[in-house]
Amino acid sequence: MARTAVSGRLIWRVATLATIRDETATARTLSFDVPDWPGHLPGQHVDVRLTADDGYSTQRSYSLASDGGISDGGISDGGISHGGISHGGIELTVQKVDDGEVSPYLASVLKVGDPVELRGPVGGWFVWRPTDTAPVLLVAGGSGIVPLMAMIRARQAAASRVPFRLIYSARTPADVIYANELRLPAGGLDVHYIFTRNGTGRRIGVADVNTHGWPADFEPDCFVCGPTGFVETVADILVALGHQPRKVKTERFG
């Protein structure tokens, strides 16, 4: 069943916005009811298509924030199983890009009950499976936290003991998405923040990855997600620190 979720034929489905949760002043989580959602693996994304009354249509990719409801190769009863929610749906978290075409609409305009078309789940490389056993390093820039949060939630849902480390770069503490959930004590999950615009703001560097990541000798699975420049910087640092390129999986948000 898990294989079906990864490589099944993709069709457009009409999803209905079920709930909205503000994460920060500019990011919100949208939970959708999706008929016949096949389940997904943490790290996968969907394509969202919006069509205007005049027929103009545009689409963007959004990572799945919910854990996917897949564990040990089987799909459980629903796509959302964290935070006490459990129904056949999915969650996306959208960061508003001020001059953007699609994200301001999803993050500010879309109302509960409104439909959107979506297609997925997409992607089979940038995924973590609860059956994986290597230590995990997650490195997020901004909204790049979204697919990595799905991995953290899947780890928790599966009661996995695989140790996770998260390095999360955000502009300021107020821009941290999922701040409350990341504050909850979770055995085996270490979180380190880097703030780029809070006075002493600075960019991620070798020392951060060296100190708060895993030694290359541990052969961790590394997942890096965020803006292209951020992802390339971190991937270069990891390879320079001795990590095998095949263990460094990246997702660029553009």
Find out whether 68 and 154 touch, Cβ atoms under 8 Å: yes
Of 24, 71, 95, 169, which lies in the binding site for ligand FAD, with binding defined by CB under 6 A?
95
Tell me, what amino acid is at 86?
Answer: S
Of 75-83, 91-99, 184-192, 197-205, the window that binds ligand FAD (rule: CB under 6 A) is 91-99
Classified as helix, coil or strand, 206 is helix
Of 11-19, 88-96, 160-168, 191-199, the window that binds ligand FAD (rule: CB under 6 A) is 88-96
Exposed, middle or buried: residue 87 (CB in 10 Å: 0-12, 13-18, 19+)? middle
**SS3 for 174-201, per residue?**
HHCCCHHHHHCCCCCEEEEEEECCCCCC
Of 101, 114, 190, 236, which lies in the binding site for ligand FAD, with binding defined by CB under 6 A?
101
Find out whether 143 and 35 touch, Cβ atoms under 8 Å: no
# residues near ligand FAD by CB under 6 A: 20
Of 100, 134, 188, 216, which lies in the binding site for ligand FAD, with binding defined by CB under 6 A?
100
Distance between alpha carbon 39 and the CA centroid of its chain, in Å?
15
Find out whether 17 and 112 touch, Cβ atoms under 8 Å: yes
Of 103, 160, 169, 233, which lies in the binding site for ligand FAD, with binding defined by CB under 6 A?
103
- Interface pattern 224-243 for ligand FAD (x via CB under 6 A): ---x----------------
User: Hey, what are 176's tokens?
Assistant: 């941290």
Closest approach of Cβ 228 to ligand FAD, in Å?
Answer: 9
Q: Is 24 in the site for ligand FAD (CB under 6 A)?
A: no
User: Hey, what are 219's tokens?
Assistant: 């052969």
Of 73-81, 93-101, 156-164, 191-199, the window that binds ligand FAD (rule: CB under 6 A) is 93-101
| Residues engaged in binding ligand FAD (CB under 6 A) | 45, 60-63, 93-95, 97, 99-103, 143, 146, 227, 251, 253-254
